[in-house]
Chain A
Amino acid sequence: MVGSDARPALGGYSATVAQGKLLALVAPDGNACRSIADAMSGFERPRHGRILIDGKDVALRRPGERGVMSVRTELALFPHFSAFANIAFPLEQRRLDVNEIGRRVEQVAADVGIPHEALAKLPAALSPEIRLRVALARALVAEPEVLILERPLNALPLPLRRSLLPELRRLQRRFAITTLLVSDDLGEAMTLSDSMSVVIDGSEVQSGSADQIYARPVSVAIARLAGPCNLIPVDVDTRDGKTVLIGTALRGGTAALPRERTPIGIESGPALMLVRPLAVRLFLGIRRFDILVDGTIADVMPEANGARIRVTPESFPQDLLADIPLPAPTPLEPGRAVTLGWNRGDIFLLPVTG
């Protein structure tokens, strides 16, 4: 257990990260993220339990003696050191030969993508992206057994965060280092991780691959954490071994659903139909959809690869989001009547509670 009894950051949790893989631990509470990273790095002692690295319990070892290095939101680059001196710091503490330190710093800086001329500069003179790379290089040069990334991109501007996500993933694979990403951003974690756990109020609520968590969340909270979603109230019934959805939202009133799209426990009664905006399309009478909803465009929001529209349906009061690739087959403007459609394979049912 990590944190206090009254407000545990992590309790009753067990996970294994395979050598060279990246496990993302997602906790919506930023303080919980910090506590978990602190416990892994040795700045906070777990109240119960063990932290095993390569089979050895390191829970009682001091920071610096665990083979763990971290990159935190603040980056914590020493402002009075040059980028080179920052990267060299862990090696200097090991009293390595000066030439060896120079060689290793140059090597890791090149691998991480730090321009040579940036090495002589103070952190304040570097761009946010290069600062992040320097912090990564300082962590990697020490050749730790485990790398902790604690919300590493949170301090960066949003466009830079998006562009750096694939780069972080590339570096993690390039160095093949066992990594624990602790984040409050499920979307970021989904892009970076091999596997992930979602922790809410100190307990794991779901684990699995990014795809599983995105497409089959166990609760409304996780569905929302994973990204924008449409949650449409429906009634569920089971007829002839098939799940049937009944709701005013559906054209025709009902729709049958493959059994694998229904989580165990939802047999009958009220439920929420989850459909991601990416799966919702404009119905133009050509392509066949299993579910159709008529409505009026309320808003059009330009996105990187298209436009997100908000549609007010005729048959129920909750607006729907749809991501439409551009160029759109029909003009997208507020007030225009449209029909949205999606298929049964894009639906996942969620319990109303949680």
Chain B
Amino acid sequence: MGSALAYLGAAAQIGVIGAPLGLVIWMSLQDPRGQADWSLASWRTILVSQEAGFALAYSAVLGALIAALSTLLAIPFAYLIAVRRGRAGRFALAFLLMSWFLDPGLRILGWMQVIKTTTLFRLMPDALQGSLAAELVAGIHAWLPAAAILLAIGFARVPAEFVAAARECGASSISLMRRILWPQSQPWSSLVLAIVFCGATGNFLEPRLLGSGMFEQATEWLQRAMESEVGWPYASTMLILLLLAATFPLLLLVLSARRRS
């Protein structure tokens, strides 16, 4: 019974993840006229394209920055939820859960409307609009709730007696975090970083809403290719490359875990 369920699960995984991925790979092997093109023309074009390379690199850098800053900013919230608890912790948990489940695109659109219709818009430096900083803020805003809640789960898994012992030894909150909670919640905390990186690298809506203009991100490149009637093999290729780039840290984590074990 158990093995039958496992096979069923594996089949479902193939259906949900494998089939669309296979379709995208198949589409990347088509030429723009719909004929099978086994010369991998779109792959060669993109791999040698400086523009596509920059777009991918820019997405990865932005993803890494968003992951690092979101996780860093999420630490106090996670600490409040998992360690301090109490009324403030419960409130933070409720607020972050609500924010997480409310679509980040809707939140960003809402904030844009608020900023545009208030004096905030006039106070904001012109250089901030449509800049890297704007995308960074939007990315952090989008990923902070998820990062905080996932980190809190990791911190809550640290045995309470370690926290109590550290506090009894006179550890401050920062020391407790740096010396006990963060190391003890590994590799969970690294997994949170990787998850945020994966998501942030593949951000689709934010670049469209706040695109920097100076640097095109991989998702913008993808969008542009898809909008062109003949560009979808290139879009599929870029999608696969983006997927590989985004999940690269997860691959590293798995490899390092295997090496440790």
Q: Which residues of A contact B (CB under 8 A)?
A: 41-43, 62-65, 68-70, 72, 74, 76, 78-80, 89-90, 93-94, 138, 142
Q: B167 in the interface, Cβ–Cβ < 8 Å?
A: yes
Tell which of B5-13, B123-131, B158-166 binds the partner.
B158-166
A65: chain B residues within 8 A (beta carbon): 170
Separation of A99 and B179 alpha carbons in the complex (Å): 20
Least CB distance from B155 to A in Å reads 15
B164 partner, pick from A41, A79, A89, beta carbons under 8 A = A41
Q: Bound state CA distance, A65 and B165, in angstroms?
A: 13
Given A70-B168, A93-B169, A93-B175, 5 more A-B residue pairs with CB atoms under 8 Å apart are A43-B167, A76-B165, A78-B166, A78-B180, A89-B169
Interface string of B166-187 (1 = CB under 8 A from A): 1111111001000110011000
Whether A78 lies near B168 (C-beta < 8 A) is no
In contact, A64 and B171 (Cβ under 8 angstroms): yes
User: Do the beta carbons of B184 and A69 come within 8 Å of each other?
Assistant: no
Please determine whether A63 and B183 come into contact, CB atoms closer than 8 angstroms: no
Q: How far is the CA of A329 from the CA of B183 in the complex (A)?
A: 63
List 4 A-B pairs, minimum CB-CB distance, nearest first.
A76-B165, A64-B170, A76-B161, A90-B169
Q: A90-B169, A93-B170, A142-B169 are in contact. Are A43 and B175 (CB under 8 A)?
A: no
Q: A94, B170: Cβ atoms under 8 Å? A: yes
Encode contact with A along B55-97: 1 for CB under 8 Å, 0 otherwise. 0000000000000000000000000000000000000000000
The listed residue with most A CB atoms (<10 A of its CB), out of B159, B169, B175, is B169
| Closest CB in chain A relative to B133 CB, distance in Å | 37
Within 141-159 of B, Cβ neighbours of A (below 8 Å) are at 159
Q: How far is the CB of B186 from chain A (nearest CB, A)?
A: 9
Q: CA separation between A93 and B179, bound complex, in Å?
A: 11
Chain B residues in the interface with A (C-beta under 8 A)? 159, 161-162, 164-172, 175, 179-180, 183-184
Q: Is the CB of A90 within 8 A of B161?
A: no
Q: List 23 A-B contacts (CB under 8 A).
A: A41-B164, A41-B168, A43-B164, A63-B164, A64-B170, A64-B171, A69-B168, A72-B161, A74-B159, A74-B161, A78-B162, A78-B180, A78-B184, A80-B184, A89-B179, A90-B169, A90-B170, A93-B169, A93-B170, A93-B172, A93-B175, A138-B165, A142-B170
Residues of B close to A89: CB separation below 8 A: 166, 169, 171, 179
Q: Which residues of A contact B180 (CB under 8 A)?
A: 78
CA distance A343 to B162 in the complex (A): 52
How many Å from the CB of A236 to the closest CB on chain B? 50
> How far apart sit A35 and B186, CA to CA, in the bound complex (Å)?
30
CB distance from B60 to the nearest CB of A (A): 31
Q: Is the CB of B169 within 8 A of A76?
A: no
- CA of A72 to CA of B166, assembled, Å: 13
The distance from the CB of A151 to the nearest CB of chain B, in whole angstroms, is 13
Inter-chain contacts of A142 with B (CB < 8 A) = 169-170
Q: Are A93 and B171 in contact (CB under 8 A)?
A: yes
Chain A residues with Cβ below 8 Å from B167 are 43, 62-64
Residues of chain B lying within 8 A (CB to CB) of residue A138: 165, 169
CB distance from B170 to the nearest CB of A (A): 4
CA distance A78 to B159 in the complex (A): 10
- Taking each of B166, B168, B169, B172, which has the highest tally of chain A beta carbons within 10 Å of its own beta carbon? B168
Give Cα distance in the complex from A103 to B184, angstroms: 28
- Determine the chain B residues whose CB is within 8 A of the CB of A79 once the complex forms: 184
In the assembled complex, the CB of A65 is this many whole angstroms from the nearest CB of chain B, namely 8
**B172 cross-chain contacts in A, Cβ below 8 A:** 93
Complex interface: chain B residues within 8 A of A69 (CB): 168-169
A43 and B164 CA atoms in complex are apart in Å by 8
Interface contact B168-A68, CB-CB below 8 Å: yes
Find out whether the CB atom of B165 lies under 8 angstroms from the CB atom of A78: yes
Inter-chain contact B161/A80, CB cutoff 8 Å: no
Give the residues in chain A near B170, CB-CB below 8 Å.
Answer: 64-65, 90, 93-94, 142
Is A64 in contact with B183, judged by CB distance below 8 angstroms?
A: no
Other-chain residue from A63, A74, A80, A94 in contact with B168 (beta carbon distance below 8 A):
A63
A41 proximity list for chain B (CB < 8 A) = 164, 168
Minimum Cβ distance to chain A for residue B182 (Å): 10
Chain B contacts for A80, CB-based, 8 A: 183-184
Whole-angstrom distance between the alpha carbons of A69 and B166 in the complex? Answer: 11
